[in-house]
Every structure is written in structure tokens, then in C-alpha cells.
Structure 1
Amino acid sequence: MAQDLTALAVAVVGVAGTMTAPWLAQRARRSELRSEAERADRTRRQEYEANEFERRRERYAVLNEQARTYRTAMLDVAHALRRGETVPPQEWEALAEARTAFRAEYAQAQMVLPEPTLDIVSEVNRGLSHGYRLLRLAEAASGSRAEAGAAVSWLERPLSDGVWLLRRALREDLGVADATADLPGRTAQLRTARRGQAAVFPALPQVRDES
């Protein structure tokens, strides 16, 4: 009797194993496919994030370069005017090209920069525009050395800090630089300096690139 029961139990287990084996195999396969899909999804997300970071890094690098080039072109013209020299046409052309290039990059950056970083970059844009208006004023005053001196002073001091602020803000947004606690405060100082100097020169020509 015991032998019969044992044989029956073995038979039942064998049948159950035979019946459940396909189900277990199917379940294991589904788990394997799910794991593969999750790994593929993680890989896609990582690749997307890496590509997005690279695109942002390239855009930020160009924006930083264009801001520096724009300021340098203005400074070349300002120094020439302060010396009482006639600015060669090619220097005005270089300034116009630098200004156009920066404005194009800034317009693109406005679409992707987070709000805190955009606030800093926008103020630097206004600071660059202010420098350009000072040059226009000096030009309109027949190369007045006083106005040209004001332009040089602005470009060499507050705006130099402004370009540094732009670079620092972009690096922090990329996560390649530690946070600088005084960035908002230094941006406010740049804004105050710009408004203070603009009040001294109320007749500055209007230039539509302060957005």
C-alpha cells in the first residue's frame, strides 16, 4: 500500500512538473524580456541625456565665446576713439559681426536656459548692449574722448565682471562648477552699475537688443 501511494505521489509530481514546466519557462522568458527592455530603456535614457548635455555644452561654449568676442571688439573701438583715432572700417565691421553673432546665440539660449541662469545671462546681454550704445554715443559726438573713456571704463570693469558671470552661470548650469553663492548679488551689482551710468548719459541711442 505504501509503495502504491509513493508511486502515485511520484506520478502526480511528475505530471505536475510536466504541466507547469512550460508555464515556468514562459514566466522566466517574460521576466528576461522585461529585464532586457528595462536595460534598453536605461541605455536610451543615458544616451539621450549624454547627447542633450553635449548639445547644451556646445551651445553654452559658443555663447560664452561670442560674448567675449563682442566685448573685445567693442573695447578695440573704444580704445581707438579714446586715443582720438579714426576707427578703421574693418573694426566697425568686426564689431557689427560680433554683435550679430552674439545676438543670434543669445536668442537661441533664451529657449533652453533655466530661469535663474537666464536672469544672469539676460543682464549680461543688457550690459553688452549698454557698451554698444556708449560707443554709438562716442561716435555721434565725433569721437569724443569723454564718451569713449566712459565706454572703456564700462567695458574694462563692470562688463568684464559680467562676462565672467555669464561663463560661471553657464558652467554651474552644466554641473561642471560648484555653486557660487554671490552670483545673484554680483548680477544685481552689474544691473545697478549699468542703470547708474545710463542715467548719466540719458541721450544714448536706442538699440533693440535688450530682450
Structure 2
Amino acid sequence: MLGTLLSALLTQRAAERSRQREQERAERAAARARDVEERRTCYVALNTASRQYLAALTDHMHALLRAEDPRAVRQRLTEARDLHRDVYAEAQMRLPDPVLALAGDATHALGGLYGRLRRLDDGVPHPDDSLDAAQGEIDALWERLRELRRGMRADLGAPRASSGR
């Protein structure tokens, strides 16, 4: 009789441990899924903000080429730059190091282009500042943003796209 009682108790304890391990596995899986979703959300915001910032820089360069009143494009550029700064600040806290390195390189290059265009706009260019040089930076930055996007997608485990565009 004691053996029957102990057998039932041991079976119950084993089943409870099994349920507890399964619950812990489910909680870890849910935490991983939340982490991936938070990184994906951060990646979407960073990709969008970076592309908008570069588009605003491109518009600013075109306004300088056409010698139009740049006030409206300056305002858009300021807003895009501020948004990118905020999104990048959050990304610095969330991104894994390999993706953060790509994002940092892109952000540094965007800032360099911003400085060049502002100097040209303000009429105080450095000797190597020109609209042709700015166009070259813009072209290089679009490729850099594609590299960043590929890095973010790889981190999320997304399949490789056949084209970077």
C-alpha cells in the first residue's frame, strides 16, 4: 500500500516538474519572440528614418542646384534629421553590435553630408565642398543604407532578396 501511495506521489511530482519545465520553455520562447519583434520594430523605424533623412538631404541638394529658396527644404531636413537622431538613439540601446556598426557608419556619413550641404547653403564651404561631391556622397549613402537593411534582415533571419533595391 505504501508503494502505491509513493508511486502516485512520485508520478504527480514528475508531472508537475514536466509542466514547470514546459512553462519555462514557453516563457523563454515568448521572450525571444518579443525581443525579435522589438528589434524588427526598431529596424523598421531606423530604415524609414534613415531613408527620409537621405531623401531630405537629396532634396536640399537639388534646391541648391536650382538656386531656389531653401527654407521649405531646410525645414523638412531639420525634421528628418531630428527624427533620425531620436530613432538612432533608441537603436543604440537595442541593436546587436554588427548591425549597430553598420547603422553608426551610415549615421556618420549622413551627418557628414548634412554638414557639407549646410556649409554650401550658408556660403562658407570647405575647399573640397561642392554639389558634385555631395551627389557622390548621396549615391554612396544609398548603397550604405542598402547594406544596413541587408544586415538588419540577416539579423532577423529574413531570406535574402534577389536584388538590393
Q: Work out whether the TM-score is over 0.5.
A: yes
Offset of residue 134 of structure 1: 1.3
Q: For residues 19-70 of structure 1, what are the alpha-carbon distances to aligned partners after superposition, in whole Å with 9 as ceiling and x for unaligned?
A: 2111000000000101111111111111111111111100110000000000
State yes or no: 1:110 paired with 2:92.
Answer: yes
Offset of residue 150 of structure 1: 2.4
5+ residue gaps, structure 2: 161-165
- Residue 33 (structure 1) aligns with: 16
Q: Aligned equivalents of 1:61 and 1:167: distance in 2?
A: 9
Any conservation in 2 of the 1:63–1:105 contact (CA below 8 Å)?
A: yes
- Residue 205 (structure 1) aligns with: none
- TM-score, normalised via structure 2 length: 0.89
Offset of residue 83 of structure 1: 1.8
Q: Aligned equivalents of 1:78 and 1:142: distance in 2?
A: 15
- Residue 163 (structure 2) aligns with: none
- TM-score, normalised via structure 1 length: 0.70
5+ residue gaps, structure 1: 1-17, 179-211
Offset of residue 132 of structure 1: 0.2
State yes or no: 1:140 paired with 2:122.
Answer: yes
Percent identity, aligned pairs only, is: 32
Q: Aligned equivalents of 1:54 and 1:132: distance in 2?
A: 32
Offset of residue 137 of structure 1: 1.5
- Residue 45 (structure 1) aligns with: 28
State yes or no: 1:161 paired with 2:138.
Answer: no
Runs of 4+ in 1 over 6 A off after TM superposition: none
Structure 2 residue identity aligned to 1:97: E
- Residue 64 (structure 1) aligns with: 47
Structure 2 residue identity aligned to 1:174: L
State yes or no: 1:80 paired with 2:51.
Answer: no
Q: Pick from 150, 155, 159 the counterpart of residue 173 of structure 1.
A: 155
- Residue 100 (structure 1) aligns with: 82
Offset of residue 142 of structure 1: 7.7
Q: Aligned equivalents of 1:142 and 1:148: distance in 2?
A: 13
State yes or no: 1:122 paired with 2:104.
Answer: yes
Q: Aligned equivalents of 1:58 and 1:78: distance in 2?
A: 30
Any conservation in 1 of the 2:63–2:73 contact (CA below 8 Å)?
A: no
Task: Give the superposed CA RMSD.
Answer: 1.7
**Number of matched residues?**
157
Structure 2 residue identity aligned to 1:122: G
